Chain A
């Protein structure tokens, strides 16, 4: 089974801090994704990467950056955390290709609270 591991389940940070959310997958997947999930808004795509050192903006990239130095690891960085970034953050990975051949496999999420 694919395993996507997010480093923290719960995280509390202060406004203005630089925050790193880490994600590791063990299936040699090419694609990795960061979503945030908020009540009533579903999952919104922040950034994704289809290869090492490659990144693409999603729908809501403002205030975030990402890093993918190794294939198995994809980091989400909040440059200066703000209270409106309090959310559940979900990392996912998939094989290259589309459709059922490459469903997304999600981690269990990191619930970030910014105070």
Chain B
């Protein structure tokens, strides 16, 4: 089976940088994804890493190390609107299409 571990809560102030870590155990690996979910809203896709290294999209970056079964989401220049839950997810090996999600990290950004 698959399992993903990420911190349950992270707090930071506006303008800061925060890193949300994710470690995974999978029988196969098809890439690590990140999703954002605001309170009361639907999860939305943020980023995807299939290969080792850093992927940057504006203020958000995502990193993957396959040898360490580890990745992180880096949020820079934090804004109040970044307060949300963040989920890492991997493809289910047996299915190949379904995503298995971590339990989520709640990020609270204060002024």
Identify the A interface with B (CB < 8 A): 4, 31, 33, 35, 40-45, 48, 50, 56, 58-59, 90, 94, 96, 98-100, 102-109
Q: How many A-B residue pairs have CB under 8 A?
A: 67
Residues A109 and B42 in contact in the complex (CB < 8 Å), given A42-B103, A103-B33 = yes
Q: How many angstroms from the CA of A58 to the CA of B2 in the assembled complex?
A: 12
Measured between alpha carbons, how far is A102 from B41 in the docked complex, in Å?
20
Q: Measured between alpha carbons, how far is A105 from B33 in the docked complex, in Å?
A: 13
**Count the B residues whose beta carbon is within 8 Å of the partner chain — how many?**
26
Q: Which of B41, B48, B91, B98 contacts A58 (CB 8 A)?
A: B98
A42 and B104 form a contact (CB under 8 A): yes
Docked CA distance A45–B91 (Å)? 12
Taking a contact as CB atoms under 8 Å apart, the answer to whether B43 and A98 are in contact is no
Which of A31, A90, A99 lies in contact with B43, CB distance below 8 A? A90
Residue on B nearest A108 in the bound complex, by CB: B42
Q: Given that A98-B31, A99-B31, A109-B42 are known contacts, is A50 also in contact with B87, CB under 8 Å in the complex?
A: no
Is there contact, CB below 8 Å, between B42 and A42? no
